[in-house]
Structure 1
Amino acid sequence: MPALTRDEAQNRARLLDVHHCTVDLDLTRGDEHFASTAVIRFTARTDGDTFVEIKPATLHRITLDGTHIDPARLDDNRIPLQLNAGQHELRVEADMRYSRTGEGMHRFTDPADGETYTYTQLFMEDVQRVFAAFDQPDLKAVFEASVTAPAQWTVLGNAIATPTPTGQDTTTRWQFAPTQPISTYLVAFAAGPWHSVRTQHAGLPFGLHCRRSLAPYLDADATEILDITRRCYDRYHELFDEPYPFDSYDQAFVPEFNAGAMENPGLVTFRDEFLHRSAVTDTERQLRGIVIAHEMAHMWFGDLVTLTWWDDIWLNESFAEYMGYQVLGEATRFTDTWTGFAIDRKSWGYDADQRPSTHPVAPATDAVHDTSQAMLNFDGISYAKGASALRQLVAWLGEKDFLAGINDHFARHRFANATLADFIDSLARATTRDVHAWAERWLRTTGVDTLTPDITTTADAWHLTVRHQGIRPHHLAIGLYDETPTGQLALRERVETDLTPETGSDHALHFTGPRPALLLLNDQDLTYAKVRLDHTSWNTALRSLSRLDGGDNGADGALTRAVLWNAARDMVRDGELAPERYLDAARAHLPHENDNAIVQGVLAFARTHIADHCTTPADRPTALATITTLCHDLLHRTDSPATGVRLTAVRALIDSATDPRPLQDWLREGTTPGTIPLDPELRWRVLARLAVLGAIDENDITAELTRDPSATGQEGAARCRASLPDPTAKEAAWHAMYDPQHRPELSNYLFAATAQGFWRAEQPDLLRPYVERYYHDAVALAARRGPAIAALAGRQGFPHTLVEHRTLHLGEECLRTGEPGPSLRRHLADQLDDLRRALTARTAQHR
């Protein structure tokens, strides 16, 4: 399927004005195909040639203004059109394929009860898998849809739907109200025997929907989800002059969803893992709230005002990311959202921005030449770095002027398309600051600035020079902390200052009195930069990090500690801090940490990045033992399970076990240390670890699957089978993932689960023969199954636990000669860069 180029999109936008699209779908045609009819009314401004996209199983009929076009004229996914100036009506009838990869119209049969569900994910260029369309974001139209479905199903879409009889007892036709003008990629449907919770708010119908087998979990959390939804909705109406622009607000939790969620107007779709079958931490509940707030922000950033071309992805994602964290923190009980952002999301941005595949937050238009290139930019830069840049912009500009610029942008471009230049012009009208220069430095450049302190002292004063490696201006806070007689780190003063490139790479500040025990650049994490600590401050942090008090607001201390942990993380990745020194710091301070986001983030980095990647095989048992002891300390020293720290510790304890006997005891007793019951999630986690250790077999996996036959259980079983240290099990898993003759081909979720189980750090001798096969088979798989599966093969499928030069050399050869497609190539390049860093970090061992 050829990617749409920017030039093609611009030419088509100059030629066409699309007014209205009628879509009719019939979902009663069997398990493999559905019927699709699209009628598009548009105007050609001049005579000209263009094309409409569709990717059918069978193309039945095409008419342009009543004249038949031979379906044989379909060229791959394009129907060529010769147009005269004036108004036109195009009708395209086809049978379309259901998807099992989360693209187009995904179809899922729930193993728990046999019920079937379908939903669309049409982002970027997948609308053509469902109906014919001029598939680009700047050809907005009013959509009017109808869907025929089994009588027991409910059909959801972008607007309010009315069910009408079809004259047959087995089917119902759902007619949707016309939408506002929206882009093709935002059209959405979800059909099936949904379990629904409905209410009204601000005069609009609100709904929550999930598959029936998850009904108890939705019902248990519906009050919280709806409360967050209402509070965020009300907060956005306080911030934005433009009211919510659509006629309803449904949130559907759908199976096997590739992303976290999708901002379809009026019908937000979420991965249904956000409905928790098992115990979760408050940090995970906060994350769900952030995603709710993020997707709601898109109703304005992306749906009301939409990017013109995919070089401005950040106009959607960076804003929604920033607003999601900010608005949830302002409107709900989750007031400490920026600590979670700092310890989790921001590191995603830092990592992506230091790889060879880095790109500006807002790339040059000619750098995003087609949709395949654009898809690769949905990454830590467009989300986390972009949101960090916006947080810095608000700190520099002030919230009042920032919001004034946003509201000017909405007013000028409502239900239309806009560019970076349009947005910066709106901000410039709201402030006297040079926003254009700021944007050039922050949005058009790549890489991470580094800030390093240099401190000199005199008898009655001390002097700070900030060494600034980079070209961006920074408005940041500098935290000065003193050790108290009781061993606490107390805030003496927090100084805000501006670092500007015009003053050079060194920025001097002068203070009277004694130097602080700890000086922290970027305290409160206002800017996006790596920070280093001077020798005295680093020793203070190693000694007293867990006793740091951030001032009057308790959340300030957690955010400061997150900045310190990020500094240590960056030093490990850069080969400047030995991995075991990071583990020593975690061992000393994490048992005293009350913020679960920090505990979760530090433990995840210690367990995965350090123990599995940065630690040599000889030192890995010691690393796992340190993590195990740390987890026991967390369990013993944490008084309240409500914080989630106990649950986080139990998960890491299971994942780090080297002796199967305690895990087997927990399975028999149905509980874990800390009196946490073994719910389904923890049972599968225990079984996966026992599988790695060779302490269970197929009979045990089958017995657990009988106990939990859900979709999550199916994934757990696939993960366990692939984890077994047995040549036959490994070959079976490989065959399921990569053999084109394997039937049925794994869905996206089952592929991910199998890949996660396959590459285990405990099994290097068993896995080495698969490394060369991986680089060959993954290329073939990506070509056969498309970008979604290619991305999974490049992430979960990568041999990341074999941190060896041979893995690196074979990967580099694959990039040179193996011809991986764009999605796989990008993920391979990123994984290989992480592999190089892990090899470098191992050289820092014991330094």
Structure 2
Amino acid sequence: MSSVRPLSSGQPSGEPAGDIDTYRIDANTVRVPNLTREDARHRARLLRVESYDVLLDLTDASGGPSERTFRSRTTIRFTAAIPGASTFLDVVAERFHEVSLNGQPVDVSGYEPADGIVLPDLAEHNVAVVDADLLYTTNGQGLHRFVDPIDNEVYLYSQFETTDAKRMYACFDQPDLKASFTLHVTAPAHWKVVSNGAVTAVKDAEDGRQMRTTHFATTPRMSTYITALVAGPFFQATDHHDGIDLGLYCRNSLAEHFDTDELFTITKQGFDWYHRHFGYRYAFGKYDQLCVPEFNSGAMENAGCVTMSEDYVFTSRVTDERRERRATTVLHEMAHMWFGDLVTMRWFDDLWLNESFAEWAANMAQSEATKWPGIWTTFANTEKTWAYRQDQFPSTHPIACEIEDAEAVEVNFDGITYAKGASVLKQLVAYVGLPQFLAGIRQYFAEHAYSNTTLGDLLATLNATSGRELSDWAKVWLETSGISTLSPELELDSEGRFSSFAVCQDAPRDTSSDNTVRPHRLAIGLYSYDDAGALVRVHRAEVDVDGERTPIAELVGQQRPDLVLLNDDDLTYCKLRLDPHSLHTLRHGGLAALQDSLARTLCWSAAWEMVRDAQLAARHYIALVTDAAGSESTISVVQSVTKYALQALEMYADQDWAQAARVRFADLALANARAAVPGSDHQLAWVHALLNSAGTEEQLDFAAGLLSGEQQLEGLAVDTDLRWLILRSLVANGRAGEAEIADAAAADPSAAGARHAATARARIPTAEAKAAAWTLMVDNSELSTAMRRAVMEGFRDRWRPELLTSYTTRFFKEADGLWDRLSTETAKFMVIGLFPNWSSAIDSETLRLADEFLADTSRPAALQRLISEGRSEVARAVAARAVDTAAG
């Protein structure tokens, strides 16, 4: 370590290579190299990367945190299969101090961030050095910089998936060029610095400045996108389990809310389950989990250094659904230590080898090892609904699909890659058996540890351990797109028994999917009322279904029940249709009487998909919610069905009917909140439903009374988050405004409070407020992604759609500019979030504008995809509204 010297940001170590002076670029909007699959394959055939040695200096001249740029010096050792060939090195830099290859300067005078650095005339064994000033970001990609408004402390964290490691150090930024990494970081002395490896030494600055250099252990071979750095004055909690040092981190200003005991318990339960079933010990030494600010997603599986959204530090009361969701996230990222980190997909075609497996494994571990054994109910209710929606877009794709470049994969972190993939794995387990499946997984890890794989590698091991040839199964389930619909076809004899019973499979008949009829292993449940009035299962048949029509001989002669439930126990992935008699049962009290939570969830899901498919009127779905949601015991289901009810009122219902229905729904929510057990999750969930739908003076008076203390619900604590939700409801209805928002922001000066205030301001029901929100979101490149999301949440107005009418045309005029100006990740969520599918845009004019936009096929494929998805949602809503109007 003695040869490692700290760098001072902005202090050159020598003359700049080439003829480059400092020039300013916008870290949030600069386009990084869009690596193509062919370029990645060529580079992987040419190179083997041995190691990276990375020195980072995060300080300014005084030893405090640097503000805009940081110094990064990277030494890369690699071999070339063809001496004399050239390759390219990825980096997004503002200024170079040194660029050399094998001791010779490299000309970077024509450098552009989107092109990287050309390395010519490679030797067999090579050493490249890049010493440069790189840029912090505020968009959650690269090395993100955040200032805590409570204490003005700076916090940094990295986010490199899919190809953003080049924003922190020069590298060959693709998943199949694995290497070992050694990191050295100079930072302010009071900071904690965390990376993939364990800390091996910490040295104070010799010149008296209050900074120190932390040296980390060299990692095993890993991909660039799972390397990590987190730094700042974090609160830290430690523990130890099964030979693994555990750490939990959050900002100091959140430490009082950090429930580390529960998180450590979940972590230990996860390691025990994975070690027991995967047969390969955790490979990355220590295990840190860090809750970081302004994170763009739930979490990221950096090896041994997992970053999570600090929304999982609950500063106000949440329902158990949020804790259950947090546990899933913890276990999902831990599963990635095997699926993705130990064994990594060769290219993003096989992204599902990471995400689908991690999602399946997390739910398995959670159901068997934690206090949430009902997680598969939540999965069926939320995650599969996400998958169904995604799989019916015109942009649907196979689970294992061809990805041409890195930009294309950004939009594939979707319901198909996560939830459909996990559902299909659950189907595969039912098909081959859990012991055989786990045996294949153990063999897969043993054979491919620290390397990269494809679908074929996985199938080879599963073929061997299951005794089944799975190539045909993989082709129809993994390599084709679309979702099948399963329906019962039944006939009765004179005594009300089944004289015939068949399962009919209807493959999608559109041009976007592959119209594939798939084999299914599924259960069929027959449910009837018992003497106490409960709807209970009286018979279950587990069968194999294949083809367009599969007779089920086992059910012939069975008495027709009150409810026939295909895909009972949720073994397969399909849309489910209910026969008329079963639907009648559910619509007349049966859903509330159904005892099994997973069976209820499947019925709720089937009803919702029928609304989206314009086969069940939205008003009839609202009636189901009115009838049964108040007695629903599973909190995640309550929260989902109330959310879907509000969506149905906004998008799928006849709008003349919906106005009065909204009032009735809010009254229902208030009644259920009052009837709920004091202090219960159900009480809180129904209060949230009320605040999201309130519109009458009486309803708003109640909300205002909760805020002032004049109204109370026994057991309901009006804490910080609830106060903001109440205020937003009042603001949206014209009962509060800027003065009240300013007072609330002053009372809550946290980062979350600033986001809440931004949402509330954007929710003010005036044209001026909407215009200000639009300008802030669209034109301010320095706005953090988290703040942009908060403004967008307020901009979209469910109950004042007339305020958004002019933005339908404006969106299509400005979408290209959004895509060009913003990073891919930010532009993606902006296009999705601002696509005009609000109530006033559910019409033929929006469809026409979308068609005009899509007609220009010269636009980026990822942008075209997102626009086509938005158009699809509007087309569905138009059809559903027609059905609901006809039902009135």
- Contact 1:44/1:83 (<8 A) preserved: no
The residue aligned with 1:516 is: 561
Q: Do the aligned partners of residues 818 and 361 (structure 1) sit closer, same or farther apart at CA in structure 2, a change above 3 Å counting?
A: closer
The residue aligned with 2:806 is: 769
The structural deviation recorded for 1:600 is 1.0
Q: Determine which of 60, 68, 75 is the counterpart of 1:32.
A: 68
* CA distance, structure 2, for counterparts of residue 590 and residue 16 of structure 1: 59
* 1:143-189 deviations in Å (ceiling 9; x for gaps): 00011111111111001123221223321111110000000111100
The structural deviation recorded for 1:511 is 2.6
The structural deviation recorded for 1:805 is 2.5
Q: Determine which of 145, 149, 156 is the counterpart of 2:183.
A: 145
* CA distance, structure 2, for counterparts of residue 255 and residue 529 of structure 1: 37
Q: Determine which of 175, 185, 191 is the counterpart of 2:215.
A: 175
- Contact 1:790/1:823 (<8 A) preserved: no
1:280 to 2:318 alignment: yes
The residue aligned with 1:600 is: 639
The structural deviation recorded for 1:585 is 0.7
Letter in 1 for 2:542: E
Q: Determine which of 522, 537, 549 is the counterpart of 1:505.
A: 549
The residue aligned with 1:746 is: 783
1:467 to 2:498 alignment: no
SS at match of 1:269: strand
1:356 to 2:356 alignment: no
Letter in 2 for 1:39: T
Letter in 1 for 2:563: L
* CA distance, structure 1, for counterparts of residue 860 and residue 790 of structure 2: 23
Letter in 1 for 2:744: E
* CA distance, structure 2, for counterparts of residue 146 and residue 99 of structure 1: 21
The structural deviation recorded for 1:674 is 5.1
* 1:370-423 deviations in Å (ceiling 9; x for gaps): 111122211000000000000111111110000010011101100001100000
* 1:416-469 deviations in Å (ceiling 9; x for gaps): 011000001010010122211111110011111111111111245412111112
Letter in 2 for 1:206: L
Q: Do the aligned partners of residues 806 and 772 (structure 1) sit closer, same or farther apart at CA in structure 2, a change above 3 Å counting?
A: same
The structural deviation recorded for 1:305 is 0.2
Q: Do the aligned partners of residues 696 and 778 (structure 1) sit closer, same or farther apart at CA in structure 2, a change above 3 Å counting?
A: farther
The structural deviation recorded for 1:672 is 5.1
* CA distance, structure 1, for counterparts of residue 705 and residue 194 of structure 2: 46
Structure 2 gaps of 5+ residues are 1-31, 61-65, 508-516
- The range that moved more, 445-454 or 66-75, is 66-75
Summarize the alignment of residues 642-661 of structure 1 with structure 2, pairs less than 5 Å apart.
642=680, 644-659=681-696, 660-661=700-701
TM-score (norm 2): 0.91
The residue aligned with 2:481 is: 446
- Contact 2:410/2:824 (<8 A) preserved: no
* CA distance, structure 1, for counterparts of residue 574 and residue 260 of structure 2: 39
The structural deviation recorded for 1:493 is 1.1
- Contact 1:73/1:79 (<8 A) preserved: no
* 1:329-348 deviations in Å (ceiling 9; x for gaps): 11111110000001101000
Summarize the alignment of residues 760-839 of structure 1 with structure 2, pairs less than 5 Å apart.
760-801=797-838, 802-817=841-856, 821-839=860-878
The residue aligned with 1:554 is: none
* CA distance, structure 2, for counterparts of residue 129 and residue 604 of structure 1: 38
The structural deviation recorded for 1:542 is 1.7
- Contact 2:678/2:716 (<8 A) preserved: no
- Contact 2:679/2:715 (<8 A) preserved: no
* CA distance, structure 1, for counterparts of residue 523 and residue 593 of structure 2: 16
The structural deviation recorded for 1:100 is 0.7
- Contact 2:533/2:593 (<8 A) preserved: no
Letter in 2 for 1:664: A
The RMSD of aligned alpha carbons is: 1.6
The residue aligned with 1:703 is: 743
Letter in 2 for 1:355: F
- Contact 1:672/1:678 (<8 A) preserved: no
Summarize the alignment of residues 396-411 of structure 1 with structure 2, pairs less than 5 Å apart.
396-411=431-446
* CA distance, structure 1, for counterparts of residue 462 and residue 615 of structure 2: 40
The residue aligned with 1:614 is: 652
* CA distance, structure 2, for counterparts of residue 210 and residue 372 of structure 1: 31
Letter in 1 for 2:124: G
TM-score (norm 1): 0.96
Summarize the alignment of residues 335-734 of structure 1 with structure 2, pairs less than 5 Å apart.
335-363=373-401, 367-459=402-494, 461-462=497-498, 463-470=500-507, 471-501=517-547, 504-509=548-553, 510-549=555-594, 557-607=596-646, 609-639=647-677, 641-642=679-680, 644-659=681-696, 660-669=700-709, 673=713, 675-734=715-774
Q: Determine which of 776, 786, 794 is the counterpart of 1:757.
A: 794
The residue aligned with 1:125 is: 163
1:7 to 2:38 alignment: yes
The residue aligned with 1:115 is: 153
Letter in 2 for 1:346: K
Q: Do the aligned partners of residues 624 and 820 (structure 1) sit closer, same or farther apart at CA in structure 2, a change above 3 Å counting?
A: farther
* 1:501-559 deviations in Å (ceiling 9; x for gaps): 3xx53433343242111111001111000111111111112223344455xxxxxx100
* CA distance, structure 2, for counterparts of residue 761 and residue 231 of structure 1: 42
- Contact 1:489/1:544 (<8 A) preserved: no
SS at match of 1:662: helix
The structural deviation recorded for 1:764 is 2.7
Letter in 1 for 2:46: L
Q: Do the aligned partners of residues 788 and 401 (structure 1) sit closer, same or farther apart at CA in structure 2, a change above 3 Å counting?
A: same
* CA distance, structure 1, for counterparts of residue 175 and residue 712 of structure 2: 51
SS at match of 1:163: strand
The structural deviation recorded for 1:312 is 0.1
Give aligned-pair identity as a percent.
38
* CA distance, structure 1, for counterparts of residue 590 and residue 73 of structure 2: 63
Q: Determine which of 193, 198, 203 is the counterpart of 1:164.
A: 203
Letter in 2 for 1:96: L
Q: Do the aligned partners of residues 251 and 505 (structure 1) sit closer, same or farther apart at CA in structure 2, a change above 3 Å counting?
A: same
* CA distance, structure 1, for counterparts of residue 714 and residue 824 of structure 2: 43
The residue aligned with 2:247 is: 207
- Contact 1:55/1:77 (<8 A) preserved: no
Letter in 1 for 2:573: Y
- Contact 1:615/1:623 (<8 A) preserved: no
* 1:585-609 deviations in Å (ceiling 9; x for gaps): 11011111111111111111111x2
The structural deviation recorded for 1:36 is 0.7
* 1:587-643 deviations in Å (ceiling 9; x for gaps): 011111111111111111111x2122112332222221232133134224433644x
- Contact 1:782/1:820 (<8 A) preserved: no
Letter in 2 for 1:354: Q
- Contact 2:378/2:636 (<8 A) preserved: yes
* CA distance, structure 1, for counterparts of residue 775 and residue 630 of structure 2: 43
* CA distance, structure 2, for counterparts of residue 8 and residue 452 of structure 1: 46
The structural deviation recorded for 1:670 is 7.5
Letter in 2 for 1:487: G
- Contact 1:736/1:745 (<8 A) preserved: no
The structural deviation recorded for 1:645 is 1.3
The residue aligned with 1:553 is: none
